[in-house]
């Protein structure tokens, strides 16, 4: 707990009350936007555009951090918009959640040619890849990750270590904010699907 909180206790209580009212609405799918009243709108506006706001959820083994943006429409009505979250695994040290892919995802080089790399595990800041060519892959390269529905994520990949004869761990950094949002949304969709799998089996 920070000794100098960003919000006062009254402000935190007000936000908690608002979010509690929202969760009591019985919608099957969570809305991507939260309607807010004038008091909260003024409160968030005072924080300034430079502040990064998030809505965080915690369970025994996971932590999801949803970015929040205050949006005003033409009638100057305000709402909070939730972006796709960062997903973390709890443990001795918190680390980004890693998706073990059921089918490898191809990676193209900067000229949009096959790089010889395929992602077999993926997180928001790293990936485990399989290399199908002879020799060793480049240590630092610009790549395009091809997601389902032909969505593309442009990224810079830096070699972290060799894991096996044909598998390598890379750190990744997206090149544009749109790429980051696309990657986050893909991971969140896959995470949500896997959370529902036990329900489907049961």
All domains in the chain, ordered by first residue: 9-83 (no CATH), 98-198 (2.40.10.220)
88/56 Cα distance (integer angstroms): 11
- In this model, does residue 142 exceed pLDDT 90? yes
This prediction has a pTM of 0.74
State the pairing for strand pair 86-89/62-72: antiparallel
Tens digits of residue pLDDT in 164-179: 999 999 999 999 999 9
Confidence of residue 194 (pLDDT cuts 50, 70, 90): confident
The end-to-end CA distance of the chain, in Å, is: 39
Q: What is the mean pLDDT of the chain?
A: 82
- Better pLDDT: 71 or 121: 121
Average pLDDT over residues 108-119: 95
Q: Please write the tens of the pLDDT for every residue from 28-84.
A: 444 444 555 566 666 666 665 556 788 899 988 899 999 887 777 777 666 778 889
DSSP three-state, residue 21: helix
Residue 14: the pLDDT is 64
Residues 127, 137 contacting (CB under 8 angstroms): no
Report the percent of the chain where pLDDT is more than 70: 71
């Amino acid at each position: 707990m920070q000794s100098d909180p960003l919000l006062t206790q009254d402000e935190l209580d007000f936000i908690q009350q608002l979010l509690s009212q929202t969760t009591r609405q019985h919608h099957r799918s969570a809305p991507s936007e939260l309607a807010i009243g004038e008091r909260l709108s003024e409160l968030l506006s005072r924080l300034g555009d430079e502040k990064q706001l998030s809505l965080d959820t915690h369970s025994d083994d996971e932590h999801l951090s949803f970015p929040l943006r205050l949006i005003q429409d033409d009638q100057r009505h305000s709402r909070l918009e939730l972006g796709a979250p960062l997903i973390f695994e709890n443990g001795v040290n918190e680390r980004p959640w890693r998706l073990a892919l059921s089918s490898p995802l191809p990676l193209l080089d900067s000229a949009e040619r096959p790089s010889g790399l395929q992602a077999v595990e993926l997180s928001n800041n790293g990936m485990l890849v399989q290399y199908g060519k002879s020799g060793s892959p480049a240590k630092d390269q610009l790549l395009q990750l091809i997601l389902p529905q032909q969505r593309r994520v442009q990224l810079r990949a830096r070699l972290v270590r060799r894991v096996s004869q044909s598998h390598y761990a890379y750190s990744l950094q997206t090149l544009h904010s749109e790429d980051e949002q696309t990657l986050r949304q893909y991971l969140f969709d896959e995470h949500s699907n896997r959370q529902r799998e036990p329900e489907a089996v049961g």
